[in-house]
């Protein structure tokens, strides 16, 4: 019979998730020797090694994968129980667990700040990643809510739209297509585009837009952040398609231009989402309602006609 403790499982889950003893120790506010001791005791209880070193990498053994799955299920069940009890108490204080895609991080801090001003007893745990990773945090109950663009198809999520998301084509200053009036979509076949990594909502939206016109695009470089794309566009390495929320400062300072391409801006929606059937903690539901009611007024978006003149009318 296995004699496992919750502490051992919690420590092992962190080590396995980070593939690192030091990062797990940092997360759990423990010393690295204390983390190593807990994992060693767990291995002794199981009777098999759970981790092995491949060069500098810490990887799970087959037995380790079994224990990792167990640790995730136990942690999720404990979190769910805590959430259910908080819901029964009607507790609107406590911790808001929120995940956002990288593009949304340009405006989410404004929403969180306004929410906390009205609810000072709430603490916020916020993670920022691409859409695929954000969806995984919901699936594993690591976060209660997520803010993203379009919801990926075939995923067990419930979402509500709360604000428009305008996608635009950005170019360096003095680009040859800037200020020349309407640019046909076909003209973009002659341009090189900078794109996000697979799993990013920005990349998925870009692929959808070109596919809807029966077109492909030339890829100049793949990058892991919107900031990298903006810097590369400024340097003249290619064009990009990003949310207008991400480029407000660059447009104001005239470091980037928005090209008036026909069919743009493409108007999508921002969504606040959670796992289907999940009973949200009271604080999460309160934040969800806050976003649905106030986001559009708290995060003003430059009107398309301000950027495109009569082309967007």
Spans of all domains in the chain: 6-84, 90-162+269-298, 165-267
Task: Could you please state the CATH topology (level 3) that the domain comprising 6-84 is classified under.
Answer: Arc Repressor Mutant, subunit A (1.10.10)
For tokens 């309160």, the residue is: 286
Q: What is the pLDDT along the chain (313 residues), one digit of tens a residue?
A: 778 898 999 999 999 988 889 989 988 889 999 999 999 999 999 999 999 988 878 899 999 999 999 998 888 777 767 766 766 666 656 789 999 999 899 999 999 999 999 999 899 999 999 898 999 999 888 899 999 998 988 888 999 999 999 999 999 988 888 877 789 999 999 999 999 888 888 888 889 999 998 998 888 889 988 999 999 999 999 999 999 999 988 988 889 999 999 989 989 999 999 999 888 888 899 999 999 999 999 998 765 444 554 434 3
C-alpha 38: how far from chain center: 32
174 Rama sector, left if φ>0, alpha if ψ -120 to 50, beta otherwise = left
Q: What is the pLDDT of residue 50?
A: 93
DSSP code of 298?
H
In 4-107, which residue ranges form alpha helices assigned H by DSSP? 6-18, 21-28, 32-46, 62-89
Q: What is the pTM of this model?
A: 0.70
The answer to whether the 90-162+269-298 and 165-267 domains have the same CATH topology is yes
Q: What is the pLDDT of residue 197?
A: 87
Q: What is the pLDDT of residue 205?
A: 87
Q: What is the pLDDT of residue 261?
A: 92
Instruction: Please answer whether residues 196 and 229 qualify as being in contact, where contact means their C-beta atoms are separated by less than 8 angstroms.
Output: yes
Query: Architecture of 165-267 per CATH?
Result: 3-Layer(aba) Sandwich (3.40)
Q: What is the pLDDT of residue 152?
A: 87
Secondary element (H or E) of residue 136? helix 131-139
CA dist 65 and 173 (Å) reads 51
Q: What is the pLDDT of residue 309?
A: 47
Q: What is the pLDDT of residue 311?
A: 39
Instruction: Please answer whether residues 238 and 191 qualify as being in contact, where contact means their C-beta atoms are separated by less than 8 angstroms.
Output: yes
Q: What is the pLDDT of residue 191?
A: 93
Beta strands in 32-187 (DSSP E): 51-54, 57-60, 94-101, 122-129, 145-148, 157-172
CA dist 37 and 236 (Å) reads 52
With a CB cutoff of 8 Å and minimum separation 6, the contacts of 241 are 167, 168, 169, 170, 193, 202, 205, 206, 209
Task: Could you please state the CATH topology (level 3) that the domain comprising 90-162+269-298 is classified under.
Answer: D-Maltodextrin-Binding Protein; domain 2 (3.40.190)
Q: What is the pLDDT of residue 310?
A: 40
Q: What is the pLDDT of residue 55?
A: 80
């Amino acid at each position: 019979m296995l004699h496992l403790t919750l502490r051992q499982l919690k420590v092992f889950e962190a080590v396995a998730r980070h593939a690192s003893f030091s990062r797990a120790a940092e997360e759990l506010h423990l010393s690295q020797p204390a983390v190593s001791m807990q994992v060693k005791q767990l291995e002794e209880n199981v009777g098999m090694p759970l981790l092995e070193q491949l060069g500098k990498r810490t990887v799970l053994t087959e037995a380790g994968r079994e224990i990792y799955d167990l640790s995730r299920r136990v942690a999720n069940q404990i979190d769910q129980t805590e959430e259910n009890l908080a819901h029964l108490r009607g507790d609107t204080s406590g911790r808001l667990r929120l995940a956002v895609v990288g593009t949304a991080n340009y405006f989410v801090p404004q929403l969180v700040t306004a929410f906390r001003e009205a609810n000072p007893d709430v603490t916020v745990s916020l993670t920022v990643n691409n859409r695929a990773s954000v969806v995984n945090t919901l699936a594993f109950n690591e976060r209660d809510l997520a803010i993203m663009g379009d919801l990926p198809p075939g995923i067990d999520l419930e979402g509500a739209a709360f604000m428009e998301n305008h996608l635009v084509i950005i170019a360096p200053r003095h680009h040859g297509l800037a200020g020349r009036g309407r640019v046909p979509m076909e003209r973009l076949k002659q341009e090189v585009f900078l794109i996000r990594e697979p799993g990013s909502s920005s990349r998925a939206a870009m692929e959808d837009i070109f596919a809807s016109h029966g077109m492909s695009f030339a890829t100049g470089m793949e990058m892991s952040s919107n900031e990298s794309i903006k810097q590369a566009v400024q340097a003249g390495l290619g064009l990009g398609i990003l949310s207008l929320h991400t480029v407000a400062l660059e447009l104001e300072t005239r470091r980037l231009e928005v090209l008036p391409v026909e069919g743009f801006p493409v108007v999508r929606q921002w969504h606040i989402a959670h796992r289907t059937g999940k009973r949200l903690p009271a604080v999460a539901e309160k934040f969800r309602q806050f976003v649905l009611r106030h986001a559009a007024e708290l995060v003003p978006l430059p009107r398309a006609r301000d950027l495109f003149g009569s082309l967007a009318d």
